[in-house]
Structure 1
Amino acid sequence: MTSTTAPLLELEALRKEFGGKVAVDDVSLTVREGETLALVGESGCGKTTLTRLLLRLLEPTSGTVRFDGTDLTGLGTAQMRAVRRQMQVVLQDPYSSMNPRLRIADIVAEPLVTHDPQARGRRGRAYARQRAGELLVAVGLDDTILDRYPHEFSGGQRQRISIARAIGLEPRLVVLDEPTSALDVSVQARVLDLLADLQQRLGLTYVFVSHNLAVVQQVADRVAVMRGGRIVETGTAHQVFTAPAHPYTRQLLDAVPVPDPTKARRPRRSLPGEPAGAAAARTGAREGTA
Structure 2
Amino acid sequence: MSTDTTDATDTADAAAGAPAAGRPLLELNGLRKEFGGRRPTVAVDDVSLDVHEGETLALVGESGCGKTTLTRLLLGLLEPTAGSVRFDGQDLAALTASELRGVRRRMQVVLQDPYSSMNPRMRITDIVAEPLVTHDPEARGRRARARNRERVGELLAAVGLDAGIQDRYPHEFSGGQRQRVSIARALALHPRLLVLDEPTSALDVSVQATVLDLLADLQQRLGLTYVFVSHSLAVVAQVADRVAVMSRGSLVEVGDATAVLRTPRHPYTRQLLDAVPVLDPRRGRRAAARASAPTAGPADEAADGASR
Q: TM-score, normalised by structure 2?
A: 0.84
Give the one of 61, 68, 74 matched to 1:48: 68
Match of 2:27 in 1: 10
Unaligned runs of 5+ in 2: 1-17, 287-308
* Matches of 2:19 and 2:86, distance apart in 1: 20
Alignment of 1:87-166 (within 5 A): 87-166=107-186
Match of 2:187 in 1: 167
How far did 1:153 drift? 0.3
Alignment of 1:111-260 (within 5 A): 111-260=131-280
RMSD, aligned α-carbons: 1.3
Say whether the 8 Å CA contact 1:2–1:221 is kept in structure 2. Answer: no
- Deviation digits for residues 135-180 of structure 1 (CA, Å, limit 9, x no counterpart): 0010000011000000000000000000000011110000000000
Aligned length: 266
Percent identity of equivalent pairs: 77
Q: For 1:166, give the aligned amino acid.
A: A
- Deviation digits for residues 97-141 of structure 1 (CA, Å, limit 9, x no counterpart): 000000000000000111123311222111111101110010000
Match of 1:264 in 2: 283
* Matches of 1:221 and 1:134, distance apart in 2: 29
* Matches of 2:73 and 2:104, distance apart in 1: 13
Unaligned runs of 5+ in 1: 268-290
3-state DSSP of counterpart to 1:96: helix
Q: Which has the higher contact order (CA 8 A, sep 6+)?
A: 2
Q: TM-score, normalised by structure 1?
A: 0.90
Say whether the 8 Å CA contact 1:9–1:30 is kept in structure 2. Answer: yes
How far did 1:6 drift? 2.0
Change in CA separation of 1:3 and 1:130 when aligned onto 2, cut-off 3 Å: farther
- Deviation digits for residues 219-250 of structure 1 (CA, Å, limit 9, x no counterpart): 00000000000000000001101111100001
How far did 1:257 drift? 1.6
How far did 1:3 drift? 6.8
1:61 maps to 2:81: yes
